[in-house]
Structure 1
């Protein structure tokens, strides 16, 4: 009996080993099949064309700024309006309308006119800067407290600036200078005597 049992044990072990070996071979075949499938998929993906890059949309260009319009100034009696371009409007206020001869004090009518200019500046050109340029004719000053035409022209520009400020235009928007008789308009000397109001973006 002992000999038979000893003979039976190796036979059982052999069959178990055979079964284990067959199971491992099946697992190996399955793994090889899976590996082959993965390699085939990789090859397929490698043959596909690369996707087109997605470009970010180009932002639309901002619209061009609207041109400054002289609208509103034309209704003011006695002044000239020059539409000087998309970024500038120039007004010419005759000196004889604004001041007595040789003076830098605005007349009562002039204060009303400058007040109307201020109203348009505040309602239609609130973000614009305002340059005030005083001009005179070429006649030399004889009887006046002003030492020169340049000094008189600057005083007149500042008088208009003061009235604009009194009418509600911020002083920070106003710039003044006087050029005397350096920029004549030609023709009558009365046309040379003026204060220009340059409204700029």
Structure 2
């Protein structure tokens, strides 16, 4: 009987040992599975971060290429044009404006002419001489349009039929003076807007504009 019970105890012990080993193995498998899942999650996060970084780099490259195209589309400035200036600054009676593809030097009509007249005042010639020098140097070879403008008062006593005629003759007088100072005649064209583009006052409306095409 003793041997029988000893045999039974041995069998029971073996079964318990096997059960313990099986539980330990399951725990190890579970731990490894959890660790593997953690590593996969970390790898996925890093891949997503790399994808986002690549997308950012591609977006930046597209932005740089777009800016370069915009810069290339801008008209090249004249190499003789002073940076931040037009060249007409400081000339008496002249104001300047920069627009798309052109620079305008506006000369006050009262600086150039007496009321209703087209003969240049002696005092106007100094300003026009300075304008001519700028046209010959800073804007050499550029197309020039001289525009005559008047106020809105109808012609009464002068010998001109309309303000358009007066505006044209004044533009023509400025053209002739600039040519006499060495500006090439072929570069210059004329236009008269008469009273069509008035400014804030009658005095400001009476003007001649020298427009340089860029």
**Uncovered stretches (5+) of structure 1, i.e. residues with no partner:** 1-60
Runs of 4+ in 1 over 2 A off after TM superposition: 63-71
Q: CA deviation at 1:174?
A: 0.4
What corresponds to 1:192 in structure 2?
205
**Uncovered stretches (5+) of structure 2, i.e. residues with no partner:** 1-68
Give the whole-Å Cα distance in 1 for the aligned partners of 2:151 and 2:102. Answer: 25
* Aligned partner of 2:182 among 148, 168, 192: 168
What corresponds to 1:145 in structure 2?
159
Give per-residue Cα distances to partners, 1:171-194, cap 9 Å, x unaligned.
000000111101111x21111000
Q: For the pair shown, which has the larger CA radius of gyration, 1 or 2?
A: 1
Normalising by structure 2, what TM-score?
A: 0.61
Aligned length: 139
Give the whole-Å Cα distance in 2 for the aligned partners of 1:84 and 1:192. Answer: 19
* Aligned partner of 1:182 among 196, 200, 206: 196
Q: CA deviation at 1:133?
A: 0.5
Give the whole-Å Cα distance in 2 for the aligned partners of 1:116 and 1:154. Answer: 22
3-state SS of 1:117 partner: helix
3-state SS of 1:179 partner: strand
* Aligned partner of 1:74 among 65, 89, 97: 89
Q: CA deviation at 1:66?
A: 2.7
Give the whole-Å Cα distance in 2 for the aligned partners of 1:134 and 1:180. Answer: 7
What corresponds to 1:33 in structure 2?
none
What corresponds to 2:102 in structure 1?
88
Normalising by structure 1, what TM-score?
A: 0.65
Tell me which protein shows more helix as a share of its residues: 2
Give the whole-Å Cα distance in 2 for the aligned partners of 1:75 and 1:130. Answer: 20
Q: CA deviation at 1:65?
A: 4.5
1:27-38 to 2 correspondences below 5 Å: none
Q: CA deviation at 1:111?
A: 1.4
